[in-house]
Structure 1
């Protein structure tokens, strides 16, 4: 027993001795010897943001404000001012409703733009008619000039015969006399006695319900039909009318959005349906909305139709029949691209057979020297050109004025 106790005491003493040696060694390692300066204290750097690339600089110290140092915005300050003070960009402003230019006199105002592309025809005719001797070759050149301008065969022959007779009777041919003569004959061909009003009067149903005027806008893809519908809304709003737009072009995904944007700019509501939905249903709902809102006019933008596709053309006829359940359609405007020339006449003929076109809208008239299409399409359909597009601007759709057009043709 004594031996066990002795062994335990020895073990305790040995452990205490070893512990003392470790502590002493540690202290010797941390404590510098006398006369030698203590090594500098090294502290670990604070954690920083991850760097990008070898050249990345460590983030600098950013000044931070305590909650007591942050001032409240002044009373009455707007959200935009607070955002701007904080250094962030202000939110975009919601565009307001625009005021379109008055429709009256637009073509006169745009005459210079029109004349830049159209007076090639007038200058060519005046040059030929001013020759000292008007032989058969000269008259053939005059005829070719008119045909090149898409005046059409029958109107060209008629104009040449009238010019030959009047020049022969006139005798002397000063430039002023020839210009006056040519202006008079071109006006006769274009027609000054045609009704070029876009009819939007509406009416009253048998039940005594007042209905708005209904205008169908039809045409081939790519003629600018939806844009024309939006611009026509601006023309009508400028004349003081309230407008509802019907986005019945349900086959083109962007058509309804595009039309709605045009409507929002002038405060016109747009009725639209599901993509690839029934266009006749959308047109019907648009007129229904126009009646409920007591609107003056409903403009229905139909889907672009290929004149060679019988099924699509039949569907266009269905749109018109469905809309007529509310009452008669006041206008069917056919949009034609003036740059297509004689091909536009083929399109016009087929559309007229399906929906009874009442007026023509010629777009891109400022982009072609073939202004004779105005004469040709009127002769083909026996309906007047009522509106012309003269540029890409929002107010570049103008009521057609024969005098201003002919003056642009022959120049000053």
Structure 2
């Protein structure tokens, strides 16, 4: 009986010592973790447990330390068995999600992130990360669905608002982006991010006054991001405020922040003031800076201005160059006009007017009416000439 009591006493004392050791070990690990001394955590756990398998708790601590020292493959091996643990599962899953993304395994990362969104249904963070993965893959409808769910978790979360607006712009839904950002600005009127996003959104929706309002809010606070300044300058032009438009265009050009559309609008401002020769130089710079076939709008304006300047042969050369890359009814119409004005032989003009009439859509009613009239007149002329 005495022997049995002695054994029980030894067992209780041993249990207390082990329990105390575990508490001390946790405290040491916590202190090292706070110091970001993750290598020492690994050495400490290896020295305590040696070759024996530590408990799930200390396995997690080692896996976390391995993760924090960049040993993600070893960390993953320790953390995967803990994924279903009722206590350690959420922490292990968070690390496994990051590892999967670092290894560019989007399928695995999505699984972990969706599980985390169930662990923490009121936290939009994990749904945001799911949306970003789909966004990076170009799956914008799926990205929209998950970012919308994240937004509904917390309608005041500025990240969800900003990224959902960006997704809607990718999906050609500027009206949705406009309404969302407008509501966001009412709540966060000093948000530079929302204002910056609103500049291109308003420009897309042809709200030029609002482009200027948001752009001026930003530039007054030192934000002279090229996109903001460009669209502000273009909006001033569209509203007929040439001096203000040119001021901001020159601001970009003086800082060597040039782009094809900046040169194009510089040409339009100069052209509007009647300086066609100077404007031609700017239009030509816009064309040369643009990769074909995207230069057609700039090339078309260059050709039109050359024609207005009675430089018909040069205008024809540019229009024919444009047709090599991307044909359009507008190019054909301008070719017909230049052939009509420049060549005594009216056959090329007649052919191009007829071609334009066949291709012209409803948006070209005035040009189509003129082309029909000129076809009739040219046929009569050619008939009189016996051609």
TM-score bracket, normalised by the shorter chain, equals under 0.3
Task: Answer with 1 or 2: which has the greater Rg.
Answer: 1
Structure having the larger proportion of residues in helix: 2
Q: Which has the higher contact order (CA 8 A, sep 6+)?
A: 1
Structure having the larger proportion of residues in strand: 1
TM-score, with length taken from structure 2: 0.21
TM-score, with length taken from structure 1: 0.21
